[in-house]
């Protein structure tokens, strides 16, 4: 397996969000990566390049607070199209990308799209979020820890500073040494920079404890929630229809929850997150997870609280 452990550093508009280019809110200024193999855990090869910015020439103060780079360090760097071309060549064939957190590959593709570079990755684009997998293996599956926390937890020696693209990729690879290949491969994530365009392209994935579905685009949130496939509920264990005990209800502007029940496997928590694409349309990311009766009761309470809030808003509406 050709595991590429990737980390990026990026900058944002130093003049504030109101003046940023919405096509590229985060401009990559450094790409760092190491090649990892379970047959030889020590990283066998590395890639590290600075990127000369073309959108935000000055560094945002928050960027400078986190990383050690300064604007003058980037003046002699090569442009993003050159660096990303070098990086993709270095990755070789069929790379399996590993990152600490879900953002790096999305921002890599966003920067590529901005520069008019064809995205070579497969669709759906599966990758391995080591931050998430660390939580699955060592904690509660929900908590997301910092890279330095995980390094301390696993008693990995701190040999180089954090918040540098190559060093953070190196530490992520060291954490992978404390995981098995099966633990990584069985807990893939799906990057959503590109989403299904047609119904036949919609994504269905089943994991050990939950299932995930990513829909085609809809013109509005309301249209998405009226779609039969989006609203359907199935058991993630056996795949059979699981009738709803509590229908989908809103808990915020973009999140919906429901409670369903499988006769063979018990209660399931359904969650739909509605996300907006770059073209203004909406797509649904639905997960269905087996839960305990206590967790099912908590969903009933959440539903009652949301209903009470709606009644109060109606009562006191001017």
Using one digit for the tens of pLDDT, what is the confidence trace for 150-166? 999 999 999 899 989 99
Peptide bond into 124 cis (omega under 30): yes
Helix, strand, coil shares of the chain as percentages rounded to 5?
35, 30, 35
pLDDT at residue 66, as a whole number: 85
Half-sphere exposure of 178 (CA within 13 A, CB side): 19
Helix (H, G, I), strand (E, B) or coil at 272: strand
pLDDT at residue 178, as a whole number: 96
Q: Could you tell me the two tokens for 80?
A: 């993003």
pLDDT at residue 92, as a whole number: 94
Bridge partners for 34 per DSSP: 5, 46
What is the spatial distance between Cα 84 and Cα 68, in angstroms, rounded to a whole number? 22
What is the spatial distance between Cα 318 and Cα 94, in angstroms, rounded to a whole number? 59
Burial class (CB in 10 A: 0-12, 13-18, 19+), 98: buried
What count of residues does the chain have?
318
Half-sphere exposure of 308 (CA within 13 A, CB side): 6
* Reduced 3-state DSSP string for 80-109: HHHHHHHHHHHHCCCEEEEECCCCHHHHHH
pLDDT at residue 39, as a whole number: 83
Q: What is the pTM of this model?
A: 0.92
Q: What is the pLDDT of residues 51-97, one digit of tens each?
A: 999 999 999 988 888 888 888 899 999 999 999 999 999 999 999 99
What is the spatial distance between Cα 272 and Cα 231, in angstroms, rounded to a whole number? 9
pLDDT at residue 41, as a whole number: 63
* Element of type H or E holding 213: strand 210-214
User: In terms of C-beta distances under 8 Å and separation of at least 24 residues, what long-range contacts does 180-189 make, across chains too?
Assistant: 181/1, 181/38, 183/133, 183/136, 183/137, 184/98, 184/128, 184/130, 184/133, 185/128, 187/128, 187/132, 187/133, 187/136, 188/126, 188/127, 188/128, 189/102, 189/126, 189/127, 189/128, 189/129, 189/132
Q: Report whether 236 contacts 211 (CB < 8 A).
A: yes
**Distance from the Cα of residue 214 to its chain's centroid:** 13
Per-residue pLDDT tens listing for the chain (318 residues): 899 999 999 999 999 889 999 999 999 999 999 999 888 766 679 999 999 999 999 999 888 888 888 888 999 999 999 999 999 999 999 999 999 999 999 999 999 999 999 999 999 999 999 999 999 999 999 999 999 999 999 999 998 999 899 999 999 999 999 999 999 999 999 999 999 999 999 999 999 899 999 999 999 999 999 999 999 999 999 999 999 999 999 987 789 999 999 999 999 999 999 999 999 999 999 999 999 999 999 999 999 988 888 787 777 766
Q: Could you tell me the two tokens for 10?
A: 């990026």
Which fold is adopted by the domain 2-185? Nucleotidyltransferase; domain 5 (3.30.420)
């Amino acid at each position: 397996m050709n595991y590429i452990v990737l980390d990026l550093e990026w900058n944002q508009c130093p003049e504030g969000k109101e003046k940023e280019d919405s096509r590229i809110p985060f401009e990559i200024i450094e790409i760092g990566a190491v090649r990892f193999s379970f047959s030889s855990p020590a990283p066998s090869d590395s890639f590290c390049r600075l990127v000369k910015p073309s959108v935000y020439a000055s560094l945002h103060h928050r960027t400078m607070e986190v990383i050690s780079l300064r604007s003058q360090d980037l003046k002699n760097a090569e442009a993003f199209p050159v660096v990303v071309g070098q990086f993709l060549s270095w990755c070789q064939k069929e790379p399996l990308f590993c990152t600490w957190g879900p953002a790096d590959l999305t921002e890599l593709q966003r920067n590529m799209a901005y520069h008019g570079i064809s995205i070579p990755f497969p669709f759906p684009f599966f990758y391995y979020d080591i931050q998430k997998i660390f939580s699955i293996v060592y904690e509660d599956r929900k908590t997301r820890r910092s890279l330095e926390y995980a390094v301390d937890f696993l008693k990995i020696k701190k040999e180089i500073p954090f918040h540098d693209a190559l060093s953070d990729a190196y530490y992520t690879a060291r954490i992978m040494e404390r995981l098995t290949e099966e633990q990584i491969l069985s807990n893939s994530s799906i990057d959503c920079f590109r989403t299904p365009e047609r119904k036949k392209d919609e994504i269905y994935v089943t994991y050990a404890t939950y299932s995930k579905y990513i829909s085609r685009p809809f013109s509005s949130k309301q249209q998405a929630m009226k779609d039969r496939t989006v609203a359907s509920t199935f058991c993630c264990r056996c795949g059979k229809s699981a009738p709803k005990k509590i229908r989908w209800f809103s808990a915020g502007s973009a999140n919906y929850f429901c409670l369903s029940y499988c006769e063979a496997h018990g209660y399931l928590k359904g969650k739909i997150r509605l996300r907006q694409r770059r073209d203004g349309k909406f797509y649904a990311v639905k997960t269905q997870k087996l839960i305990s009766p206590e967790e099912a009761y908590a969903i009933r309470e959440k539903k009652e609280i949301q209903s009470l809030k709606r009644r109060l808003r109606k009562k006191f509406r001017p």
